[in-house]
Amino acid sequence: MIRRLYIYVNNPVHLSAGCTFFILGTLFSFWVTRIPGVKEKLELSDGALGIALFFIPLGAIISMLVSARMIHTIGEGKTTLYALLFFCMVILAPVMAVDFISLCVALFFLGFSMGWLDIAMNAVVNTIEKKEMISIMSTTHGFYSLGGIAGGGIGGLLAGLGVNPILHFTVSGLIVLLVALLFIRKHVGDIRDDKTRDPVPLFALPRAPVMGLAVIAFCVMIGEGAVADWSTVYLDEFLSSGAMLAGLGYAGFSLTMTLGRFNGDYYIQKHGRSKVILFGITVAIAGILLLLTAKIAWVIIGFTLVGMGYSCIIPVLFSSAAKVVGINPAYGLASVASAGYFGFLIGPVIIGLIAEMYGLNNSFLLLLLLTLVALAWAKRSFNATAQKK
């Protein structure tokens, strides 16, 4: 892993792409660490917060419907740069919200900018891979999780020290702006894939051969979204950990996600997709059980284990969906991705509503149930589905 990373960071184009992923992970984690403070300032219930958080994936999905045309018109590199600059501006909006409505609007545009940037920067990496005949996607995604570690740790520290969130986000946005204009623009701005590409459906209903993979993606991405949106609230508000410790849950989750993704290709090659999926889901179940203990130290360890378990699941599912016999690779990938995004969309709302009625601790029982469902489908799907070699 160390050697691969050394080669990666010594290529300025690759490093610029990784830097973009790192920025997205860092700034989003900054927002995660400020969720409890915004909830308290606006006096929101768990249910109201869940509805507000719904607008992040809603905005992201809508942006995916319009970003493809911009990429086609001005290219992957320029689209990434514009999306990054827009993201730097709107990251400040949620912490400036003055009521529930303004928070929902702010989170919609935050999600829109994140989805726009996510599509564009993945398109950049895909173009680099095709032009250079290499594989760097997994490593590049690892930088997003690395940003989650930095953002969770630094953001939790600043929140614990009482640093004003508007000042925090303003300074962060200006730093990213300088990095984007002075470094990323130079190496990524002109990247463009001029070759003709067949259209790939963004949303597609899963057919029988990929139904199991779609169900697993749905269950896992509800879990990923729940950890991102509710980990700090659970630790800070429900367990009274304080803002500084609250950020450690998401930081631990991001740390193990990072390590898993940086090493994912090696694990898959050595042990196979089926074993990686089953082991990951089992580890995630163990982590969720620790969340139910309601003890601060065990909960932080639990979030860390959940990250370890989830880390390689979605990459394996996407790869497997494109190799199912009798299914067009693009359709298989799109259908599994659609199921995953739908889960990510409704997850925050469901968790918030359950927390409103039965308490936040009990809402994690849903994650346990869904992960058990994913385990059952994984055993069935990877044993029954014939795949291309």
* pLDDT single digits (tens) 340-371: 877 876 787 788 888 888 888 888 899 999 99
Q: Which residue has the higher pLDDT, 185 or 321?
A: 185
**Residue 236 forms part of a structural domain:** yes
Q: How far from the centroid of its chain's Cα atoms is residue 346's Cα?
A: 15
Q: Are residues 331 and 294 in the same domain?
A: yes
Domain shared by 158 and 222, yes or no: no
* One domain for residues 277 and 363: yes
Domain boundary residue among 160, 191, 222?
191
pLDDT tier, 328 (very low <50, low <70, confident <90, very high otherwise): low
* 114-152 per-position pLDDT tens digit: 888 887 887 788 788 778 887 777 778 888 888 888 888
Domain that holds residue 367: 205-389
The pLDDT, as a whole number, for residue 171 is: 93
Model-wide pTM > 0.85: no
Residue 199 lies in a domain: no
User: Per residue in 241-263, pLDDT tens?
Assistant: 887 788 888 888 988 988 888 88
Domain shared by 83 and 221, yes or no: no
The whole-number average pLDDT for the span 71-96 is 90
pLDDT score, position 302: 95
Our count of domains for the chain comes to: 2
107 and 246, same domain (yes or no): no
Average pLDDT, the chain: 84
Which has more confidence, 381 or 84? 84
**Helix axes 55-74 and 76-90, enclosed angle (nearest 10):** 150
Burial 17-55 (b: 16+ CB within 10 A, else e): bbbbbbbbbbbbbbbbbbbbbbbeebebebbbbbbbbbb
Neighbours of 164 (CB within 10 A): 10
Residues 209, 133 share a domain: no
Q: Which two tokens stand for residue 335?
A: 């259908």
pLDDT band for position 189 (cuts 50, 70, 90):
confident
pLDDT at 331: 64
266 assigned to some structural domain? yes
Residues 164 and 269 in one domain: no
Assign residue 160 the CATH number of its domain: 1.20.1250.20
Q: Is residue 200 part of a domain?
A: no
Q: Assign 3-class secondary structure to 29-71.
A: HHHHHHHHHHHHHCCCCHHHHHHHHCHHHHHHHHHHHHHHHHH
182 and 273 together in one domain: no
Given 162, 191, 220, the domain boundary residue is 191
pLDDT for 20: 93
Query: Is residue 336 predicted with pLDDT exceeding 80?
Result: no
Both 277 and 159 in one domain: the answer is: no
Question: Are the CB atoms for 33 and 159 separated by under 8 Å?
Answer: yes
Residue 188 has pLDDT above 50, yes or no: yes
- Two tokens at 152? 């969770």
pLDDT for 174 beyond 70: yes
| pLDDT tens digits for range 31-82 | 988 998 999 999 998 888 888 988 987 887 788 667 767 877 888 899 999 9
Identify whether residues 145 and 232 lie together within a single domain: no
Among candidate residues 191, 216, 248, the one where a domain is terminated: 191
- Reading phi first (left if > 0) and then psi (alpha if -120 to 50, else beta), residue 71 is in alpha
- Alpha carbon 201 to chain centroid, angstroms: 21
Same domain, 310 and 252: yes
**Structural domain includes residue 196:** no
